[in-house]
Amino acid sequence: MSDARDWLTEGLPHIWLPYTQMATASPPLPVTATQGTRIRLGDGRELIDGISSWWTACHGYNHPHIRAAVERQLASLPHVMFAGLVHEPALRLATRLAALLPGDLERVFFTESGSVAVEVALKMAIQYWRNKGQVEKQRIVYFRHAYHGDTFATMALCDPEEGMHTLFAGTLPDQIMAELPTDENLRRAFDLLLATHGERVAAVIVEPLVQGAGGMKMHDAQTLAFIAEACRCHQVLLIADEIMTGFGRSGRMFACEEAAVVPDIICLSKALTGGTLPLAATVARRHVFAAFLADDPAAALMHGPTYMANPLACAAANASLDLFEPSHNSPCLAQVAAIEAQLRAELEACRDLAGVADVRVKGAIGAVELSCQAGGAIDLHALRSRFSELGVWLRPFGNVVYLMPPFVISTGELGILTAAVRTALTERARTL
């Protein structure tokens, strides 16, 4: 086995890291192994992962049931194209997703990433109306603080003031941003927006209950239910982006269930494979799929990723779904409820610190929003470095320090994470 210093020294000059100014960035931490909730570094240290590797490793790392399923699949069928051919892992997974999802969300289109899953949803929504002869319905309504991905179509659905995609202003499709209708005045405004523009709007896209990368902003089930009803009244499709909230993170298997909402299209990824392999799914309701059935080849959905429905990824996803079943004695949703209670109790002390604007918790998501006014710009680099020194892996962004731990985290490990947040923010407060 090669020395970590060798591959690190030789490889870093050739890598381009995400969301990173490479001219000034500190060197990334070299990882040699993961297990459970732990990330082992090249120098022998271990960090407790408080963000589940960008919200994916819901069952922790290297889960034996998922690992065994991938090993079995690797021995028989690692990959085959998914055009004119199908295989058991993908069809089993599609059947299980259709059974788990609310209502008649039953037609599954597999891709490899969340951004692409959203792109496919947008294509489905626009072509749905085209196939029905309403070609003018091609705009998408999204919400302030939204984040739906980094590809070109999805960048156009992200809050333009959040900063991540401002460089591309003027080159992106012109979509319609709305305020989340969280009170009566905003509900009237949203209804008026759809009444005014509905003839041109193909779909509304929303992150149910929690807007993730836009700042862990949270809204209630009544808001989501209102959005769904407004879409129905104005004949606009509803797309639920559950890439982050799906598979238990919000406290329900899918966040839209809390509002008894059945979206026309739902996007899934992140925890779909338990953080083991890349996979995403765009799932449509029966009436959406029906609009693509015709003798005309042009009515078909023309999209097909090369690694669509990769058998290894589908095997991992099936194994991950197993772990949500009672028969596997893995009470995932009960674990989420326990995490929520502990986050509420242990993050609340942050609310009184200087430089803290808010503390929010939903399911296995805890967020501490920092105030920029108290001390100017937030030094994210300093916070990230301090968290590593405290033995935890947290990656705050914007003005939010957040926790999204694996569901299998112990009470003690979660306590270490929340203590690290309190310690780092207390130290920050003393400098303000």
- CA gyration radius for the chain? 22
- Half-sphere exposure at residue 389, Cβ-oriented, CA atoms within 13 angstroms: 8
Question: How many CB atoms lie under 10 A from the CB of residue 13?
Answer: 6
Buried b (16+ CB within 10 A) or exposed e, 274-283: bbbbbbbbbb
- The yes-or-no answer on residue 270 being catalytic is yes
- The yes-or-no answer on residue 19 being catalytic is yes
Nearest to 83 by CA among 310, 312, 304, 313: 304
| d(C-alpha 235, C-alpha 131), whole Å | 15
Candidate list 6, 19, 296, 352, residue with the active-site label: 19
Paired tokens of 158? 């992200």
- The yes-or-no answer on residue 191 being catalytic is no
| d(C-alpha 324, C-alpha 320), whole Å | 7
**Based on the number of CB atoms within 10 Å of its own CB, is 326 exposed (0-12), middle (13-18) or buried (19 or more)?**
exposed
| d(C-alpha 246, C-alpha 61), whole Å | 18
| Cβ proximity of 209 and 221 under 8 Å | yes
Candidate list 61, 142, 217, 241, residue with the active-site label: 241
- The yes-or-no answer on residue 220 being catalytic is no
Candidate list 128, 147, 159, 362, residue with the active-site label: 147
Q: Where are the beta strands (DSSP E) in 112-189?
A: 139-143, 176-178
- Angle at CA of residue 163, ends 144 and 149, nearest 5°: 65
The one-letter amino acid at 126: I
Q: How far apart are the first and last CA of the chain?
A: 47
- By annotation, the residues acting in catalysis are 19, 147, 241, 270
